[in-house]
């Protein structure tokens, strides 16, 4: 019978450490390149967000003003963060305006599936209503006479008190 021994040291040794450091350096350079491009594209993204759907930008600023009223410190921190990371904020506004546009398109498609155009009124039936005392009002209808309920049911007995051994201490 042969004994098989596996060399099982914890971790991965220096190879995993070097690979992890290499991955972090690569991620740093990729993200720094992305932010460099985003820094130059941020003004264009902001303008495009305004062109695509200006409501997204206005709603974002209204939300910020509302947070200033409810939580002034949080609102100021949010504003400072938006200024410091303006490229990311511009990308956020651009994506939000695209989302608003997509939602409007879906709503229009749903309205078209129902068979009505934008601004078209829905058909309804008008019901005549009269105020009290008007002459054209119809006569009130008397409710039908209902039979009297039968009272042949036996009366309920009073609920029985449970026998409690402690009642003798307090008296009746």
Whether the CB-CB separation of 45 and 94 falls below 8 Å is answered with yes
Distance of alpha carbon 43 from alpha carbon 86, whole angstroms: 9
Whether the CB-CB separation of 103 and 55 falls below 8 Å is answered with no
Q: Is 119 left (phi over 0), alpha (psi -120 to 50) or beta?
A: left
Per-residue pLDDT of the chain (172 residues; tens, 9 = 90+): 567 766 656 666 788 889 999 999 999 999 999 999 999 999 999 999 999 999 999 999 999 999 989 999 998 999 999 899 999 999 999 999 999 999 999 888 887 777 666 566 777 777 777 777 666 666 778 888 888 877 766 667 666 676 777 777 776 5
């Amino acid at each position: 019978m042969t004994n098989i021994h596996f060399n099982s040291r914890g971790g991965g040794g220096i190879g995993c450490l070097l690979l992890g450091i290499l991955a972090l350096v690569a991620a740093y350079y990729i993200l720094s390149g992305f932010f460099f491009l985003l820094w130059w594209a941020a003004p264009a993204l902001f303008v495009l967000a305004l062109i695509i759907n200006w409501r997204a930008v206005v709603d974002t600023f209204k939300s910020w003003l509302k947070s200033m009223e409810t939580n002034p410190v949080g609102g100021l921190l949010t504003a400072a963060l938006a200024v410091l990371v303006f490229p990311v904020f511009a990308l956020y506004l651009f994506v939000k305006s695209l989302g608003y546009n997509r939602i409007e398109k879906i709503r229009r498609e749903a309205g078209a599936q129902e068979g009505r155009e934008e601004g078209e009124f829905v058909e309804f039936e008008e019901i005549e209503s009269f105020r009290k005392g008007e002459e054209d009002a119809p006569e009130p209808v008397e409710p039908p006479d209902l039979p009297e309920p039968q009272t042949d049911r036996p009366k309920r007995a009073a609920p029985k008190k449970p026998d409690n051994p402690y009642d003798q201490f307090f008296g009746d």
